[in-house]
Structure 1
Amino acid sequence: MTDRSPIHLRRRSALLGGAALLAAPGLLRAQERVVNVYSSRHYDTDRALYDGFTAVSGGVRVRLIEGDADQLIERIRNEGANSPADVLVTVDAARLVRAMDADLLAPVRSQVLESRIPAHLRDPDGHWFGLSKRARVLIVPKDWTPPKPIARYEDIADPAFRNTILVRSSNHVYNISLAGSILAANGEAALESWARGVVANMARPPQGGDTPQIMAVAAGQGRIAISNTYYFARLLRSDKADEKAAAAALKVIFPNQADRGTHVNISGAGVVRTAPHREVAQAFIEYLTSITAQEMFANGNNEYPVVDEVRVVPEVAAWGRFKEDRLNATAYAKNGAQALAIMQRAGWR
């Protein structure tokens, strides 16, 4: 559809992520003054994002339905053509790919989204778009001298690292996606060998989320925590003295800087195929890539924005820039089922 709005409105729309165009008089139909967002992001700071969209769109309300990503996907499937869902938001690419494979997401062509979001962080056909990034890194004590250098994910499977690794269970999507990226890079046999090495090197059986792994390293229960970056940043910024002190004694290793880069996962969104407010849904996602919204992602949950020029919080900035694996998220997401089977076959529970 050709955009015949005045040029000054189109320019302002580009800056605000598309929402300003909808706010222009006469361009927003009465029945489109709401966007229904099904989201598995459970961060209180996201409320400010939604309030921001209401402000720049001239009053479009965000009606939020929260839940587990798989449950939300099943709900949209069960609601069928009568689903009120306009946008699906998840915290992992694998769930977006699952929704896409179930034919629940509509392809979107948007110059705004395609110019702002790097190609490896969005579906090539526009079914979903990354909105924020989290790197899967290694957290180690600052005063520890490893028995061998640690430069790659592959290194921590070496027998020299017996009783050092702390990590959550294999069936968590963060580990599945990491393993899916290793499968894409090295093949099935190499992934199984790596997973067996990681299991042999665990300081304890997997338990809890990423934060307990970091705190356990600080307490001396292990030496290497596998974690998403924002959990570590959250501890560094914590109001609790014990958490802040524990994190201050640790540092980040970004693996594979000399080859493919560190694995990154995303929070992302797609327009639901049966969306009753499709134009508003697209404008909502475009808004989430605006400078203002990207700063909220960075400040609210210590994530990396997908728009490169947006600044991260000081604690994250202090780690410096890193090379990220530019494997398209669709590739490692589609490897997920096989990667999980390999990890569990290797004894990773």
Structure 2
Amino acid sequence: MRLPFLALALATTALPALAEEINVYSHRQPELIQPLVDAFTAETGITVNVAFVDKGMAERLVAEGDRSPADLVLTVDIARLTQIVDAGVTQAVQSDVLEANIPETLRDAGDQWFGLTSRARIVYASKDRVAPGEVTTYEDLADPKWQGRICIRSGTNDYNVALVAAMIAHHGEDYARTWLEGVKANLARKPDGGDRDQVKAIAAGECDIAVGNTYYIGQMLKDPEQQAAAEAVRIDFPVFEGDGTHLNVSGIAMTKAAPNREAALKFMEWLSGDEAQRIYAETNSEFPVKPGVAKSELVASWGEFTPDSMALTEVAKLRPDALKLVEQVDFDG
């Protein structure tokens, strides 16, 4: 009798997986990717077993070593992707399909990870208290006109660290430090909660604008208990001066141990294709990474924007410097 994958994933040793099955460690809740799994299996006959791993994915793969049952890892944010790669538990994947479908700025230069969807780090703005077009650039968030009007989650959060790293990449460390100090001076309250909490704070009148990811609005609009708060804000797409809007990704990587490499590669390539990109973006209110794939109706309603041209690999290199700046200015203090 075959053991469930979750039982295998909890063990430090594992039997080889059956043919035409692949095992995935996912940082994303299984229900978010189940529509993709179902569609892939229906098309190929390959079973996809998913184990939700909320924390310590890299450490777990290191501990399992060559005996890991995992073929692939699905996770969010450039920080988590690079952490897994830096742990030495992934392998390079050369694929003409992946290279054709995924823009160079949204995949690893060494072919260790590949972006599957993108999300913009944008501004939630009060529809009542902030005029359209009033928010223009990330640099503008440090302007004293926003004093006492900004909400944001912890500066050490991965999404915010990535934004600071991108600011360093565009303007240098000294500028980024001054900018961070300016944003801190404009906060309506100490950084706290998640992105959804910032939306709720705007709706409650605690602040007028907040920094967050686009897709949280999509998730809140589908929740009757959070819908009213989401409807109280507008999504504005600020840009870096002279460039575009900051993006981050959900992405995938193949493990070094991958016992089912051929089938795992099929899944990676399929996820980058038209059908999967449409399903993934529709389910999670994110942006497809493959050019030409239509956004969901909701996401399209937020408007058009120009993505930042800075490669995420360049942003990832500056994350340690960004985190150091956040701590030096005591952003959360």
Contact 1:237 1:315 in 2 (8 A): no
Alignment of 1:232-247 (within 5 A): 232-240=217-225, 243-247=226-230
Contact 2:90 2:255 in 1 (8 A): yes
Aligned: 1:177 with 2:162? yes
Give the match for residue 51 of structure 2.
65
Structure 2 CA distance for aligned equivalents of residues 198 and 306 of structure 1: 30
Aligned: 1:37 with 2:24? yes
TM-score, normalised to structure 1's length?
A: 0.86
1:2-28 CA-to-partner distances (Å, cap 9, x unmatched) read xxxxxxxxxxxxxxxxxxxxxxxxxxx
1:276-327 CA-to-partner distances (Å, cap 9, x unmatched) read 1111111111111122211121111111111122222222211222101121
Give the match for residue 310 of structure 1.
293
Gapped regions of structure 2 (runs ≥ 5): 1-16
One of 246, 251, 263 as aligned partner of 2:246: 263
Structure 1 CA distance for aligned equivalents of residues 70 and 32 of structure 2: 22
Structure 2 CA distance for aligned equivalents of residues 253 and 76 of structure 1: 39
Query: CA offset at residue 112 of structure 1?
Result: 0.8
Give the match for residue 203 of structure 1.
188
Contact 2:139 2:241 in 1 (8 A): no
CA RMSD after TM alignment? 1.8
One of 210, 214, 218 as aligned partner of 1:229: 214
Q: Secondary structure at the match of 2:277?
A: helix
Structure 1 CA distance for aligned equivalents of residues 129 and 192 of structure 2: 23
Opposite residue 283 of structure 1, the aligned amino acid is: K
Alignment of 1:6-155 (within 5 A): 31-42=18-29, 44-58=31-45, 60-69=46-55, 71-145=56-130, 149-155=134-140
Contact 2:85 2:112 in 1 (8 A): yes
Query: CA offset at residue 238 of structure 1?
Result: 3.6
Opposite residue 216 of structure 2, the aligned amino acid is: Y
Q: Secondary structure at the match of 2:252?
A: strand
Query: CA offset at residue 31 of structure 1?
Result: 4.1
Give the match for residue 24 of structure 1.
none
Structure 2 CA distance for aligned equivalents of residues 224 and 270 of structure 1: 35
Give the match for residue 193 of structure 1.
178
Opposite residue 206 of structure 2, the aligned amino acid is: Q
Q: Secondary structure at the match of 1:284?
A: helix
Give the match for residue 288 of structure 1.
271
Contact 1:118 1:306 in 2 (8 A): yes
Contact 2:277 2:289 in 1 (8 A): yes
Structure 2 CA distance for aligned equivalents of residues 43 and 159 of structure 1: 43
Structure 2 CA distance for aligned equivalents of residues 229 and 139 of structure 1: 9
Pair 1:38–1:145, CA change in 2 (3 A): closer
Opposite residue 49 of structure 1, the aligned amino acid is: L
TM-score, normalised to structure 2's length?
A: 0.90
Structure 2 CA distance for aligned equivalents of residues 207 and 84 of structure 1: 37
Contact 1:94 1:334 in 2 (8 A): no
Structure 2 CA distance for aligned equivalents of residues 206 and 258 of structure 1: 25
Gapped regions of structure 1 (runs ≥ 5): 1-29
Structure 1 CA distance for aligned equivalents of residues 155 and 174 of structure 2: 17
Structure 1 CA distance for aligned equivalents of residues 42 and 172 of structure 2: 48
Q: Secondary structure at the match of 2:136?
A: coil
Give the match for residue 13 of structure 1.
none
Q: Secondary structure at the match of 2:66?
A: helix
Give the match for residue 201 of structure 2.
216
Alignment of 1:328-339 (within 5 A): 328-339=311-322
Contact 1:137 1:262 in 2 (8 A): yes
Q: Secondary structure at the match of 1:267?
A: strand
Counting matched residue pairs gives 315
1:194-236 CA-to-partner distances (Å, cap 9, x unmatched) read 1111111111111110011011112110011101000122233
